[in-house]
Chains A and B, each alone.
Chain A
């Protein structure tokens, strides 16, 4: 089971700054382990961010996205308390969904 994501959604002015950290190895399929065996390709392919259930971001990623991916979305028209959901799916079919609510920027 994949680790929970860290999602932060802060309202600054009229834009919500969403930042997401996903724990994932993002293996390129080119790296060799200590025994010299190639570590197979293992990476997140699809990422979707929703605002109160409506899709706002749809990412297709390659293995060249860094390990433990961090990405950001800037969203207009969201209010404090609105739900922000993030779902990812990797090339092995593993997936995870986490949710947070929009908070005021302190």
Chain B
């Protein structure tokens, strides 16, 4: 094995991964495993930039997304967030904590019989809206819910 060639391969691979993540996530191939982690999205500090990396700038608000989260979080390091989408052909669910230092918390893609449902426990720095961004049939929809934080959790 040629070590130089090996490292070249690795380098090319990571460059491609970053480029793909930057390309609004829309050009991503629908492959099963080894999805590139959306670095640009997770590094974004503003919600508008997060939406851009998801390709969701044109997202419309929808009442068919139900976010279940506490009105007042007892423990800001452990805020349970449950998202249920009633939009047909829901493909992915992203969870965003608007005022976190890095707002994007998770993007979850669902395949092969998974219900349009996501549950995850998140950390929140301060009181803010929790957004759910749902991709269905290639279109984006959002919903938000305010969660009050009494003590910060990102310490």
Contact = CB atoms under 8 A, between A and B. Distances in A.
Given A28-B123, A28-B154, A30-B101, A65 B114 contact: no
Interface in A79-106: none
Given A59-B107, A60-B37, A66 B78 contact: yes
B106 A74 contact: no
A78 interface: yes
Given A62-B104, A66-B78, A74 B120 contact: no
A5 interface: no
Interface string B135-155: 000000000000000000011
B105 A58 contact: no
B88 to A, nearest CB: 14
A12 to B, nearest CB: 12
A23 interface: no
A56 B115 CA distance: 9
Residue with the greatest number of chain B CB neighbours at <10 A, chosen from A58, A69, A78: A58
Contacts of B104: 62
Contacts of A58: 32-33, 35, 108-109, 111
Contacts of A30: 101, 154-155
A57 B123 contact: no
Contact of A66 (B102, B114, B115, B123): B123
Contacts of B134: none
Contacts of A61: 105-106, 120
Contacts of B101: 30
A105 to B, nearest CB: 16
A60 B113 contact: no
Interface in B61-118: 77-79, 97, 100-102, 104-115, 117-118
Residue with the greatest number of chain B CB neighbours at <10 A, chosen from A28, A48, A51, A76: A28
Interface of A: 15, 28, 30-31, 45-46, 48, 51, 54-67, 69-78
Q: Which 7 A-B pairs have the closest CB atoms?
A: A74-B115, A72-B119, A66-B121, A77-B113, A55-B32, A58-B109, A64-B105
12 contacts: A30-B101, A46-B34, A56-B114, A58-B109, A59-B106, A60-B35, A64-B102, A64-B124, A65-B105, A69-B121, A73-B110, A74-B114
